[in-house]
Amino acid sequence: MIMDEEVSIDPWGSSQSTDYSKIIEKFGLSRMDGVFLDSPSKLHRRGVVFAHRDLDLVLNAKKSGDPFGVLTGLMPSGKMHLGHSMVIDQATWFQQQGGDVTIAVADLESTATRGISLAEGRKIATEEYIANYAALGLDPNKTTVYFQSERSIVQKLGFQLGKRTNLTELEAIYGFDGSTNLAHVQAPLVQAGDILHPQLEDFGGLRPIVVPVGIDQDPHLRLTRGLASKTNWFNVSDAKIGLQVGVSIQEDNASVMGVETSGRVNKERQKEVFSNIVEAIRQLGYSDIISNPKHGTVNVPSATSKDKGAIRMALLSLERSMGGMGLLAPSSTYHRFAVGMTGDKMSSSKPKTTLFLSDDITTAAKKIKKSFSGGQSTIEEHRRHGGDPDKDVAYQYMMYFFEEDDSFLEEINQGYRAGKILAGEMKQMCIERATEWLSNLSQKRDETAHLVDQFFE
């Protein structure tokens, strides 16, 4: 038994920690328990989506009828498997909640880290991924798909943001060292560009953007959130009483802020900046605002943590009107990894570990029959001690993918634990549902094939 295994997440690695509680703690994620959702999807109801960052920004936007966006991405590097479908499940859910959806095809990342040519990446993305996204119910009219290699703003943004970080930070986040290929340094910066660009004026403007991903992608979100806040001209934080806005003087905003190259402060200019801040906050309905240009702060004693989001948004707008980027740190949600069929990690390069969305029924049934079971080694023992649905791949696949009915799942969960349902019977139920799900999908793929092009417009 490994006692003190270091909790680590590597977006390109093959081994990941799956101690989700520890991951939440170590990386400062927020738990999904206690987050109220109007119409949770099955991944929410079952705790598969287990953590988030700043999801409240998005839920509040929805509540008040304000716009919000969804951005996620795919790396075109092989066949699409069930694990990949979770992100689309989530994007579709947010889309149904009113979000506009943008999907990045990470063809640059794929060419840099997997050796897939751009042309090949394009083909895989279109025929394999987007075709399935359409079939899974993503609405082409409310979705835009783009290629990293073709959206120059994404690369430009990545390059600009590179100025706000350094190798030491990337070493800390990704575990890089001197031998790390530079493609792995560039890819996260481009991904930061992916994540942040939808809030630029040309792509929908300032609004919360949520990034639904597997937990392996959280390092990129940590990086991106850090980069965004480092560019911010105004920072909102908790004060002893209420909230405090701090002004951040930077190389590229100093003169706008009234700090001349000599270091001298242009009092007139500074006064104007501070009255702009006060005005932006006043417009939100606060009247007690204490401006302290000397300290570079503005205090709002009657504001609470709950008001942070609104004040932050108002100040980002102000920053933009003054010539800054006004970037809002992205929100995110994280899903767990589905276990591989063999009980190990699911991987496209090991066909036996996963069901592909294009698997035919016979192949799928064969994989499920051979899948790792949480049953006992003999029927007698199973009847006596019961099985473990948490380890049983057939059960897990029904829970993650194939079965919508919560009460039915609960029933077979208990039946399995009690030894009433045998491992073979569990597999049979899974095969039946997988058969239906996969044939359904394949039929949908035919029906929606003509929509694929619309995703790129």
Q: Which two tokens stand for residue 201?
A: 């004026």
- Report, in Å, the least distance between residue 181 CB and ligand TRP: 15
Nearer Cβ to ligand TRP (49/75): 75
Closer CB to ligand TRP, 216 or 432, in the complex: 216
CA distance 398 to 413: 11
**Closer of 84 and 367 to ligand TRP (Cβ):** 84
Q: Which residues contact 237 (CB under 8 A, 6 or more apart)?
A: 243, 244, 246
Q: Is 180 exposed, middle or buried (0-12, 13-18, 19+ CB in 10 A)?
A: middle
75 part of the interface to ligand TRP, by CB under 6 A: yes
Please, which residue, 71 or 223, has the CB nearer to ligand TRP? 71
Residue 11 CB, shortest distance to ligand TRP, in Å, is 6
Cβ atoms 387, 374 nearer than 8 A: yes
**Residue range at the interface with ligand TRP (CB under 6 A); choices 27-35, 73-81, 377-385, 401-409:** 73-81
Q: Does 89 bind ligand TRP (CB under 6 A)?
A: no
107-114 and 183-196 helices, crossing angle to 10°: 170
- Which 214-243 residues touch ligand TRP, going by CB under 6 A? 217
Give the contact letters, 100-139, x = binds to ligand TRP (CB under 6 A), - = no.
----x-x--x------------------------------
The stretch near ligand TRP (CB under 6 A) out of 137-145, 211-219, 386-394, 424-432 is 211-219
Under the binding rule (CB under 6 A), the answer on residue 213 touching ligand TRP is yes
Cβ of residue 24: shortest distance to ligand TRP, in angstroms? 19
173 binds ligand TRP (CB under 6 A): no
CA-based end-to-end distance of the chain: 52
Per-residue binding letters, 437-456, with ligand TRP (x by CB under 6 A): --------------------
Choose which of 69, 73, 198, 326 interacts with ligand TRP (CB under 6 A): 73
C-alpha closest to that of 52 among 38, 36, 68, 63: 36
What residues contact 180, with CB distance under 8 A and at least 6 apart?
174
Residue 214 or residue 387: which is nearer to ligand TRP going by CB? 214
Residue 199 binds ligand TRP (CB under 6 A): no
Site for ligand TRP in 5-44 (CB under 6 A): 11
Nearer to ligand TRP, 41 or 191 (CB): 191
Cα–Cα dist 375/391, whole Å: 9
- Residue nearest to ligand TRP according to CB distances in the complex: 73
145 forms beta bridges with 103
Going by C-beta distance under 8 Å and a sequence separation of 6 or more, which residues neighbour residue 173? 188, 219, 222, 223
Rounded Cα–Cα distance for residues 75 and 108 (Å) = 9
From 54, 107, 194, 392, residue interacting with ligand TRP (rule: CB under 6 A): 194
**Gap between the Cα atoms of 185 and 167, Å rounded:** 8
Q: 83-112 burial, b if ≥16 CB within 10 A, otherwise e? A: bbbbbbbbbbbbbebebbbbbbbbbbbbbb
Contact call for residues 331 and 52 (beta carbons, < 8 A): yes
CA distance 278 to 291: 7
Pick the binder of ligand TRP from 72, 144, 186, 297 (CB under 6 A). 72
Size of the site for ligand TRP (CB under 6 A): 15
Contacts to ligand TRP by CB under 6 A? 11, 71-75, 104, 106, 109, 191, 194-195, 211, 213, 217
